[in-house]
Every structure is written in structure tokens, then in C-alpha cells.
Chain A
Amino acid sequence: MSGGSLPRRIVKETQRLIADPVAGISATPYADNLRYFAVAIEGPSDSCYEEGVFQLELFLPADYPMAPPKVRFLTKIYHPNVDKLGRICLDILKEKWSPALQIRTVLLSIQALMSAPNPDDPLDNTVADVWKNDEAKALETAREFTKNFAAKKE
């Protein structure tokens, strides 16, 4: 549908992402659909996701950038703001979206959310409860998940 007429904005964003990548984040469009990106985010150091690499998918809807991109974790992650399907609770992906935000800024925000989980605004209540009542146990579980599901492939 949009194969031939990809908006200039998306073309430029993609070019910049490839030419000037963000440290610890990679985003590559699929050849058969330039609005669909394979994303990998390295777990931030000093977090319970350290040493892990998390795969995500990102899709730019037809009305992007007036509407926010759709982003979802593919790798299992133990996080109070991510549910079992990998959906993310992040304000800039919803009501705080601005057309002046970009793929780059969105992915940086997700990385920041991994460094600083917000159990007071949870998407997964059971995870959030553990996070609030027994943080040590929550961090332990998150590390275990990271080791089991997000280990770097050698």
C-alpha cells in the first residue's frame, strides 16, 4: 500500500537510525515492509536486565507521525509496566504522543523505563505487587528471566 510512497519523514528517520545508531539500541526495517522494524535493546547496565538483549517489534501506522508507533516486547521480560503479551505502558506511546517525537526517542524512553520501573502505574498487577512488597525478590526474578529468555547469543 505504502510501498512506493513512503513519507519523506520515515525515509529520513530510517536513514539517520542506520547512519547514527543509539548506543545499545538497534532498529532495522524489514525489506518487505519499511514501516515494520526489528528492534533490539540491550538491558541497561546496573539494572536487573543487564547482560540481556531484548527483541521488540515496532510498527509505524498509516497516520504516523500524527499517531504513535506501535511497540511490543517479543522477548519475555519481568517488568511491572510490561504485560505478558509484551505490551508496554508508557505515556508517550499513548496520550502524551507528539508528532515531533521519533522512533529514536521512543526507544530511548523504553530503555529508560527498563532502568526505572514504575510499579505505581502498573500494567501487570501481580508483578507490580511483588515489586512494591518485596523488591529484592522482584529483582531476583527479573534477573532470572533475563538469564533464561534474553541471554546474548554468542
Chain B
Amino acid sequence: MSDMEYESEEEYEYTYSDEDESQASYSSHAMDDSASLEMETEVEEGSKKRKSRGRTSSLGDAVMKDTNGITMMNAKDILPMMKERINEVSEILNIPPSAATPLLRSHKWTKERLFESFTEDDGKIKKDAGVYHRCMPVSTEETNTCIICFESDISKEQMVGMPCGHSFCIECWKGHIQAKLDDGPSCIFAQCPYPKCEEVMTEVEVKKAAPELLEKYESYQLKQFVEVNGTSRWCPGPGCERVAALQNGSGLLDDSNLIVADCDSCKTKFCIKCGEEPHAPLLCRALDIWKEKCNNESETANWILANTKPCPKCRSRIEKNQGCNHMTCQKCKYEFCWICTGEWKEHGANTGGYYNCNKFAQEKNKDEDQSDAAKAKRELDRYLHYYSRYHAHSEAQKFASRQLADTEKKMVALQERRDNSTWTDVEFLKSANEQLVECRRVLKFTYAFGYYLTTPPKTVAPVEAVAKDEDSKKAKKKSKEDKQEEDKDEEPKPKTQQELQKERFEYHQEMLERFTENLSELVEKPLDDIDREAVVNQTIVVNRFMKGMIKYVEDGMEEGA
């Protein structure tokens, strides 16, 4: 029986590749020749071998591959990196390390940036960073009175001075440092306690006056370094204190690709660029824009504009929730026509009948209604199309995550039910569920991506603009090659590059969606009906479609590039 299902799975593949060839340039990454060969081999293996350890781990490795170039480390392991940068700047600019730290901080920890502005106007940047006097200390006034606590006769050893010449007693320093630490991360920007003095306090003063608070102070320095240096990010897992560091590449601000970090401690997967859950094929900027849009009240405003009209008499907003155009305002009882907002009394046989007033017909004849309400409604419908699917997959992702959590129990049950089966024999269920969660996540974001794929250029997400730029270059090259094939297709109107891309994208999306649903169905069956081979193979197939989808977008929506 399992073989039967198997056949049908292969059918699917072949149907897919058939379509592939017939649709000219639709050759997909997921299904290029070598890939489909590989898949067949795995499929065979799957039906012959009972023990599936090898396959499961190869699937696991594939997911890990995304973490290339990322090292997970403890916060304290990143400290040498920070110290190295501080010491280098300190040596080159010939300033104390305690002055180098605030200077680097005010330049996002970029040495090059700092050196550049340093050569321009070192006085100004030293002042801005609050290290002017630290680079050129003034002599501290000899005093035995602390201007904070008013104590006099304080011994020299009990006074701690700032490079700006102001000094205070150790007790007051302790109070000042503690108060700043209580303010949280901003303590690293704390200034000299003297009124309006802008020289910053550093670890030097903390060490002298309150060594017991140095560790906490330095942990805030490190925290800021991790957050701002542009190559590292705290793991967003709850309570997790690991740091993900990007080993190469142009840093976190480069939005041209996606790199997923996989925390080795709490197992959280996240985008190292923005800290959100992995969101391929959408880039970080586009994700930002999409999320903002979804949260934004403006969609509500659009909806109101499209679906309601003010009563012509009392101006109350009225939503039309039935088909009839004869409206009666609930508030002022005025009766009017929804279409033309004219008084209902005037609607009769002479205006083309009650439900068919001539104004309606006129409007309908217009090809594209350009009124604000109609435009808003069109835009709203388009947004709702993508949002509803985004939302549906988001919910399905949550469901799959819950199911994944229950999988272990299911696996134990399954093992007990089937005699002589080992743990590895039931592990396929976990792999399948993990794959499902991931597919739902990718599918979710393909709908946000799809929404921006068709937005008119004016309001386009930046990602897309880049993609289009590349397209136009590539398009010129490709158009020659494509022309012949297009002619063969006998298409009345040659499609634009953008339309073709959209079609291909939607094709990938559709396939991924279809196979994800298949897998979902297979996994959700009652335990006794679960068909191991079918699940295992569907998992592999789905994984390929998912990667194919992402790769298609990563390659600039260019097939076979």
C-alpha cells in the first residue's frame, strides 16, 4: 500500500517536470536534472532501508547549512574582540584606552569611521564623545572638600578626580556610580558629576572609586558593544545569553542576503540581521515594512473608505452589509440610494428602476473607477488577499509548532505500537514536523513578498527596487535568448519580465503550498494510519521545494542563473 502512494508521489514529480518543459523558461532549481536524480535515489533508499538514520541527519545538516559564517559564543568570549579594537585605536591615536572606548562608541565601533572623522576635526569629536580632557588632562585642583557631600578635611587618598579637574570623595562617587547603574544601559554615557560638565565617566573612575561595581559597569559596556558593532547579535531566545557573531561578510546592515543563526544553547533560530524569526524569501527591510503595514491603522481607514459611506443627511458612517441599495440611516431615518447617495424618493421607473438607477450603470461602464473609494477598495482587496494567506500560514505554523512539541509523546506511542522498532525508526515524525514548521514559516513570508512584488514602483519596498534593477540588466541579456522560445509559444502578447517573474514565483509558491499541505495531512493522521515511507519521502520532497523557492528569490528571480 505504501508503494502505491509512493508511485503517486513520483507521478507528482514527473508531472511537475513535464509542466516545466512545456512552460519554456520555467525550469526550476528544485527540479533541475541532478536534483531530481538525487531525489529518486533517496526515494529508493527510503523504500528499501528500514533504518533511516542517515537520511534524517542529512536533512538536519541541510538546515544547519544556513548558519554558515556564524559563530555562537558566550558574551565573555567576545570581550577580547572589543579589547583588541580599543587597544588598536588607543595606540594609533596615541590616547588612553579609556578615551578610545567612548570614541569608538560614538562611531558605532568602526575604526575606519573614527579615524576618518578624527583627521577632520579631532577636537570636536573628542568633545562630542566626552573625552576632551581625558586626551589632554588638566591639573586637578588640590582640595579636601567634596562639593557633593560638603565634607571637608578629606584625605587626598579619599578623593577621586576626573581628567577635567573635578574631584569628589569616594563615598559620593560610589553613590553617583550606583545611581547611574540603576538607570540601566545608559550608565555608560554617564558624565562627570560636576554641573554641566560633559566629560564622561569611564571604567577608570569606577575602578578607583567603586571596584565592586566594575563588573556590572563593564557588562553594560560589553552589551553595548554586542548591540552596536554591526557583526553580532544577542540570541533572542528567552533568557538565553549566547551571542551570534558574523565571521565575514559586510555586517548586519547589509540587507542583500539572509543569514540564519541557530543557537546551540536554546535552539532558537533567528535572522542575525534583524533578530526576527527566519523570514526568507523576504528581506529584513521588506519584513519591517510589511509588519508595520499589518499593524498600521491605515488599512482600517482604507476599509472604512471602501465599505462605508456617510449618510447624506446626518453624516454618520454607514456600512452596507447586504445587497440592497435602498438604504435607511439608522440614526436619522433618511432613505437614500447607496450608489448615487441621492434621495430614494427620486428613484423610480424614471431613473431606471429602484435597483438599477442610471448612475449605477454609468459607473459600471467605466473601465476603471478612479474615485478614491474605488481605488482604496481595490488596494484593500489586494492587501487582504495576501494578508489572509499570510495569516493562515502563520496560524498553521503555530499549530505545527505545538504539534512538534507533542511529537515526542507520539513517537513513544508509535514505538510501543510497532514491535521491534527502534527510536531512529520513529524519528521521521520529528523531522517531518520540523520541516512543516519551517515550510509554514517560509510560506507565510512568501505572501508578504508577493504583496510587494506587485506594488506599483512608487510605494515599492526597497528590496524590490534592487531586484528590478538587476532584472533590467539581466533582462537585456536574456531577451535575445528568450525571444526565439517565446515566438514558438505563439503568445499573443509577450509578457513583461515582471509578469513572468511573478508567474514563476507564484508557481514555486503554489508547489510548495501543495506539498506542504500533503505533508500536513500525512502527519496529522491517527497514529495507526501513519505511513512511514510516505511521510519520509514527502518530507524530502517538501524540503527541496522549500529550498528551491528560496533559492529562486535569492538568485534574483532568475531561473538557472
Contacts and interface: CB of A to CB of B under 8 A. Distances in A.
Nearest to B193: A99
A25 interface: no
A86 interface: no
A99 B176 contact: yes
Contacts of A98: 193-197
A66 to B, nearest CB: 4
Interface in B187-206: 193-197
Q: Which 4 A-B pairs have the closest CB atoms?
A: A66-B179, A98-B195, A66-B175, A99-B148
Interface stretch (A6-14, A38-46, A124-132, A141-149): A6-14
A100 B178 contact: no
Nearest to B195: A98
Nearest to B197: A98
A127 to B, nearest CB: 27
B467 interface: no
26 contacts: A7-B149, A8-B150, A8-B151, A9-B149, A13-B150, A63-B179, A66-B175, A66-B176, A66-B178, A66-B179, A67-B179, A92-B195, A98-B193, A98-B194, A98-B197, A99-B172, A99-B175, A99-B176, A99-B193, A100-B147, A100-B148, A100-B193, A100-B194, A100-B195, A101-B195, A105-B195
Contacts of B150: 8-9, 12-13
Contacts of B172: 99
A65 interface: yes
Contacts of B178: 66
A105 B148 CA distance: 13
A153 interface: no
Interface residues of A, number: 16
Interface string A40-74: 00000000000000000000000101110000000
A63 B148 CA distance: 13
Contacts of A12: 150
Nearest to A63: B179
Contacts of B197: 98
Interface of A: 7-9, 12-13, 63, 65-67, 92, 96, 98-101, 105
Given A65-B148, A98-B193, 12 more contacts: A12-B150, A63-B175, A66-B175, A66-B176, A66-B178, A66-B179, A96-B196, A98-B194, A99-B172, A100-B168, A100-B194, A101-B195
Contacts of A100: 147-148, 168, 193-195
Interface in B145-198: 147-151, 168, 172, 175-176, 178-179, 193-197
- A92, A98, A105 interface centre (most CB from chain B within 10 Å): A98
A66 B147 CA distance: 12
A114 B413 CA distance: 78
Contacts, number: 37
A98 B193 CA distance: 5
A9 B54 CA distance: 75
Contacts of A7: 149
A34 B100 CA distance: 45
Interface residues of B, number: 16
Interface of B: 147-151, 168, 172, 175-176, 178-179, 193-197
B95 to A, nearest CB: 26
Contacts of B194: 98, 100
Contacts of A101: 195
A82 to B, nearest CB: 22
Contacts of B195: 92, 98, 100-101, 105
Contact of A8 (B149, B179, B193): B149
- B150, B176, B178, B196 interface centre (most CB from chain A within 10 Å): B150
A66 B187 CA distance: 13
Contacts of A66: 175-176, 178-179
- A92, A100, A101 interface centre (most CB from chain B within 10 Å): A100
A87 to B, nearest CB: 21
Contacts of A9: 148-150
A145 B195 CA distance: 34
A18 B263 CA distance: 63
B355 to A, nearest CB: 52
A101 B193 CA distance: 9
Contacts of B179: 63, 66-67
B97 to A, nearest CB: 26
B159 to A, nearest CB: 14
A34 B148 CA distance: 19
Contacts of B193: 98-100
A67 B175 CA distance: 10
B533 to A, nearest CB: 67
B508 to A, nearest CB: 53
A63 B461 CA distance: 50
Nearest to A105: B195
A72 B49 CA distance: 81
Contacts of B148: 9, 65, 99-100
Contacts of A8: 149-151
A34 to B, nearest CB: 16
A67 B168 CA distance: 16
A12 B149 CA distance: 9
- A8, A9, A12, A105 interface centre (most CB from chain B within 10 Å): A9
A9 B151 CA distance: 8
B178 to A, nearest CB: 7
A33 to B, nearest CB: 21
Contacts of A65: 148
Nearest to A65: B148
A105 B194 CA distance: 13
- A9, A66, A92 interface centre (most CB from chain B within 10 Å): A66
Nearest to A16: B150
Contacts of B151: 8
- B147, B195, B196 interface centre (most CB from chain A within 10 Å): B195
A49 B373 CA distance: 55
Contacts of B149: 7-9
Contacts of A13: 150
A99 B168 CA distance: 10
A98 B178 CA distance: 14
Contacts of B147: 100
A67 to B, nearest CB: 6
A100 B193 CA distance: 7
B186 to A, nearest CB: 9
A100 B149 CA distance: 8
A92 B193 CA distance: 12
